[in-house]
Amino acid sequence: MNELTDIVRPTGALSQADWTGRYTGALMNTFGAPQRVLVRGEGCYVWDADGERYLDLLAGIAVNSLGHAHPTLTGAISAQLGTLGHISNFFASPVQITLAERLATLTAAGRRPTAARTFLTNSGTEAIEGAFKLARRHGGSARPRILALEGAFHGRTMGALALTAKQAYREPFEPLPGGVEHLPFGDVAALEQAFATDGDRVAALVVEPLQGEAGVRPLPAGYLAEARRLTAEHGALLILDEVQTGVGRTGEWMAFHHDHIGGGITPDVVTLAKGLGGGFPIGALVALTEEAATLLGPGQHGTTFGGNPVASAAALATLHVIERDELLARVRRTGAAVREQIAAAGHPLVAGVRGEGLLLAIALTQEIAPDVARAALAAGFVVNPVAPDAIRLAPPLILTTEQARTFTDALPQILQKATAS
């Protein structure tokens, strides 16, 4: 044991059961008991306190885009921490400025608008809170309506929760910030109707290109193009929540960059987080139009940690590796291979695979997803029951087709164990 090891593991090597007992007595019960206590990770694998290895097909819910302990990421974080760790936002740092410029360019598909501006946050829900405030500032009391979609998940803070549709999340904390209307998912006629009546009183439409928490549901082709047309026609902001789908997760830098999803539109605002820092907490609110970029002035919004130099360095390193190692193409190849392998197996409990790139859901013919996730974990795979009848896969972007095949080959046996449990 050396000093650093003593700090990270102050009581030495304890068993899974020991750590779980201590967890229960130390942390608030907001997530239930942990499935495993994980002690280290490398590449696409993690190990628990008992030394068992798992292929991580969830990546901290689409966060660990470069896998675990990636040398470029850890090197960038260490180098920045050893140079300039934190400053208040009364000052600026080169990495913060460079990241903001880079995000504006990437979000605008390489054609950075001169008006584009970025606000850096600590998380996705904080980026959504910023977007909510932009919507409130847009037109003030003359535009009290904010539109979102049924099935939406935008976060758990109060503004983000108001945009989130799931009643079980909302009800314990009502009353929530008002003015939010939830429209039927993917229903163009309902969207047109929402604008046909008092459309000029709509401040913003907030949508996810693919609804991750609702079971990885993609919006139908043409929906975002129509959303862009209607919001522009009525002077409302179009805000895309790419917190889960952005930064290469779907095989393009942003999900709306796919022609069959975005149809070539430019939204007013895009929110990012999850995979942006490769595991280091950071989010972003990217405004692509001058109106959206100038709605908030000095003193109207802020953050202590957002734009932290270390977090900014982590994000720049993540973007660098995705580009250097051509991970967007790998995501498309690996995602297609997973689809093909599962389809080829033709298992009667699998209804199909939906999603894009490496944000996928295996749709099941029975509501056994929690049992499947438990059986998968017992077999050495981390997956997520995103709905009663769907398993979510959101692995590191570095996942290889060979690693993916170990899961798809094991899937029939996992399903058999799940139905037997």
pLDDT tens digits, one per residue of 285-311: 999 999 999 999 999 999 999 999 999
Q: Percentage of the chain surpassing pLDDT 90?
A: 94
pLDDT tier for residue 5 given thresholds of 50, 70 and 90: confident
Name the residue with tokens 């020991």.
18
Query: How many of the other CB atoms lie within 10 Å of CB of 98?
Result: 14
Mean pLDDT across 316-329? 98
Mean pLDDT across 95-99? 98
Mean pLDDT across 397-414? 98
Does residue 295 contact residue 118 with C-beta atoms inside 8 Å?
no
Mean pLDDT across 215-242? 97
Structure tokens at 402: 């060979």
Amino acid found at 421: S
Bridge partners, residue 360, by sequence: 355, 393
pLDDT(192) > 60: yes
Q: How far is CA 160 from the centre of its chain?
A: 14
pLDDT(258) > 60: yes
The per-residue pLDDT for 392 is 98
Beta strand residue intervals within 76-235, DSSP E: 117-121, 145-149, 180-183, 202-207, 210-211, 217-218
3-state secondary structure of 206: strand
Mean pLDDT across 340-351? 96
In terms of residues, how long is the chain?
421
pLDDT(8) > 80: no
Which of 281, 253, 244, 295 has the alpha carbon at shortest distance from 103?
A: 253
Name the residue with tokens 């990241």.
99
Does residue 100 contact residue 93 with C-beta atoms inside 8 Å?
no
Phi, psi of 397 (to 5 degrees): -65, -15
Q: In angstroms, what CA-CA distances link 103 with 254, 273, 316, 329?
A: 11, 11, 9, 19
Rounded distance between C-alpha atoms, residue 165 and residue 95, angstroms: 36
Q: How far is CA 186 from the centre of its chain?
A: 20
pLDDT tier for residue 10 given thresholds of 50, 70 and 90: low
pLDDT, tens digit, 9 for 90 and up, residues 141-176: 999 999 999 999 999 999 999 999 999 999 999 999
Which of 292, 269, 241, 283 has the alpha carbon at shortest distance from 137?
A: 292
Looking at residue 225, the DSSP 8-state letter turns out to be: H
Phi, psi of 123 (to 5 degrees): -160, 175
pLDDT(1) > 60: no
pLDDT tier for residue 12 given thresholds of 50, 70 and 90: low
pTM surpassing 0.75? yes
pLDDT tier for residue 11 given thresholds of 50, 70 and 90: low
The per-residue pLDDT for 43 is 98
Does residue 61 contact residue 213 with C-beta atoms inside 8 Å?
no
Does residue 279 contact residue 68 with C-beta atoms inside 8 Å?
yes
Mean pLDDT across 247-256? 98
Rounded distance between C-alpha atoms, residue 321 and residue 71, angstroms: 10
Q: Which residues contact 163 (CB under 8 A, 6 or more apart)?
A: 128, 132, 146, 148, 152, 154, 155, 180, 206
Q: Percentage of the chain surpassing pLDDT 70?
A: 99
The per-residue pLDDT for 110 is 87
The per-residue pLDDT for 2 is 76
Structure tokens at 148: 């979102």
Rounded distance between C-alpha atoms, residue 190 and residue 302, angstroms: 36
Average pLDDT, the chain: 96
The per-residue pLDDT for 202 is 98
Which of 318, 390, 298, 314 has the alpha carbon at shortest distance from 351?
A: 390
pLDDT tier for residue 410 given thresholds of 50, 70 and 90: very high
The per-residue pLDDT for 166 is 94
Does residue 184 contact residue 217 with C-beta atoms inside 8 Å?
no
Number of H helices, E strands in the chain: 16, 17
Looking at residue 201, the DSSP 8-state letter turns out to be: G
